[in-house]
Amino acid sequence: MQQTKIAGTGHYVPDNVVTNNDLSQLMDTNDEWIQERTGIVERRWIQPGSGDSPSTMGTKAALKAIEKAGIDKTEIDFIIFATLSPDYYFPGPGVMVQEQLGLDTVPALDIRNQCSGFIYGLSVADQFIKTGTYNNILLIGSENHSGGLDKTTRGRGVSVIFGDGAGAVILQPAQSGTEGILTTHLHSEGKHAKELALIGPNTEHWVDKILEEKNPEDTSYYPYMNGNFVFKHAVTRFQEVINEALKAVGLNSSDIDLLIPHQANLRISQYIQKKMELSSSQIFNNIQKYGNTTAASIPIALSEAVEEGKLKQGDLLCLAAFGSGFTWGSALIRW
């Protein structure tokens, strides 16, 4: 079977920069507290009225990836869209991108695996390319976190972490057997689902009940994260799934030219770097500028890494993610 290569990358982030000092005007926090715990200096939040949304940001990132791939948008034959923050409860944003790009009945698949969504989408796309089902797959990760955060002192443990943005790639059959996706690995552990979750609203607690209760103390409509619990599991699963991928192809961590981890927390990335004995040149982080953009974090970072010349032909690229679900995954790619 043929291998799958990343033919083009692109990303888009809102113009509105929100610094840690800006957040200190909204809640009891400060720059030192945020940087010490997360490594984040600033993030992008959608400005109300700007027209930015998960689908429109995804489309903007997609157009850049299409241009980099050197194809016409009409050559896209499948769309995969990963997000936890769709424009609407339904339908998903994949079909909205299809319409915004002006594509004719191209199928669209929505992925709901949160921080691991891009890796899950990459693995799905890889199977379609390998079997010859599709030849130009558009894979997008895009998030609008800022619209659903508790921007008060009560919610600061979560709200200071997350940002908005989108990243996209075009996936095609590789022209040679020496390039492309070598292996992908996916996992989940649902018993920890509520440790990082947004419980309401849901179909058992819908608009009628929400309006009836009008309870300002009800925090179920905001994201919840058991930070220490998530951190401990993340650092373990990251290492496991990266080593699983390396073992599958008979390589070692020293063979990695660039690791792009999901940008969950700079302290997690630094811990993984140390444990796997990777140099600073072997890992790429941009959470300092964008915060955690969930499904968008890896494709945004990948797009920036490409723009900065961090990858050259023949390099071994490792992508890895861990997040809500719990779900986690990895991919090894020969660039």
Catalytic residues: 115, 262, 292
* Residue 102 burial (10 A CB sphere; 0-12, 13-18, 19+): exposed
138 three-class SS: strand
Alpha-helical (H) ranges within 285-326 are 287-290, 297-307
Whether 110 contacts 127, CB under 8 Å: no
CA atoms of 142 and 130, how far apart (whole Å): 25
Residue 46 DSSP class? P
Give the distance, in angstroms, between the CA of residue 276 and the centroid of all CA atoms in the same chain. 22
Say which residues have a Cβ less than 8 Å from residue 211's Cβ, sequence separation at least 6: none
Q: Residue written as tokens 């030849």?
A: 135
CA atoms of 176 and 147, how far apart (whole Å): 44
- The length of the chain in residues reads 335
CA atoms of 187 and 189, how far apart (whole Å): 7
Whether 318 contacts 245, CB under 8 Å: yes
CA atoms of 22 and 31, how far apart (whole Å): 9
- Left (φ > 0), alpha (ψ -120 to 50) or beta: where does 10 sit? beta
Residue 327 host element (H or E): strand 327-334
Of 8, 21, 288, residue with least CA distance to 163: 288
Of 335, 322, 334, 326, residue with least CA distance to 119: 322
Residue 235 host element (H or E): helix 227-248
